[in-house]
Amino acid sequence: MLDPGIREALFLYLDYNYGKHRTFEEVPINTSRADIYAVTERGLIGFEIKSDNDSYTRLSSQVKNYDLYFDWNYVVVGKKHRKGVEKHVPDYWGIFCVYETENGTEVELIRPHGINPKFKLKKQMELLWKRELSHILALNFMPRYPQKSKVFIRNKLLEKVPEGFLKKQIYEELFERDYTLL
């Protein structure tokens, strides 16, 4: 199965199984690009797609980058990679296989995700726009720092806001992202 078919099936699967969520595609994360990530009320989930035409050449560096940004991660493969993929991702990564059947496209959960021990909240904050960071400052009754950089604002928030509150605020900002305000 090729990337477009895998994406379409994965989006339908997420809509049916994940309740409230919002997806983003092709987002830069360090030296990689996240194929898809989903924001849920509990956290961020990264999805790296390996279609039947893909190789594992970049997967080790992609895994390192996904691990920094997302609470949980999955590799989503076509049938060609079903048997060997587990050797290429850590045990805490989940695995989906997407393939064609006579009844249509099937999304099979091969292995559920575990808790990502390498996740960094500071990295998740890099996904936010300055406007979103400013809104989080306001929610926490902090100065707006209009002349300061996003790095400065992220560091202030990490220093002043308890992690649990900050995570929920990050997820809410991503849920509510408005591209019409660009």
Q: pLDDT per residue over 164-179, tens digit each? A: 999 999 999 999 999 8
What topology does CATH give the domain 4-111? Trna Endonuclease; Chain: A, domain 1 (3.40.1350)
Rounded CA-CA distance 76/3 in Å is 10
Q: What is the pLDDT of residue 182?
A: 64
CATH 3.40.1350.60 maps onto the chain at 4-111
The residue-averaged pLDDT of 121-140 equals 98
> What's the pTM?
0.95
Q: Give 127's DSSP letter.
A: T
Q: What is the pLDDT of residue 26?
A: 98
Rounded CA-CA distance 181/135 in Å is 14
Average pLDDT of every residue of the chain:
97
Rounded CA-CA distance 124/170 in Å is 8
The residue-averaged pLDDT of 5-29 equals 97
Q: What is the pLDDT of residue 180?
A: 84
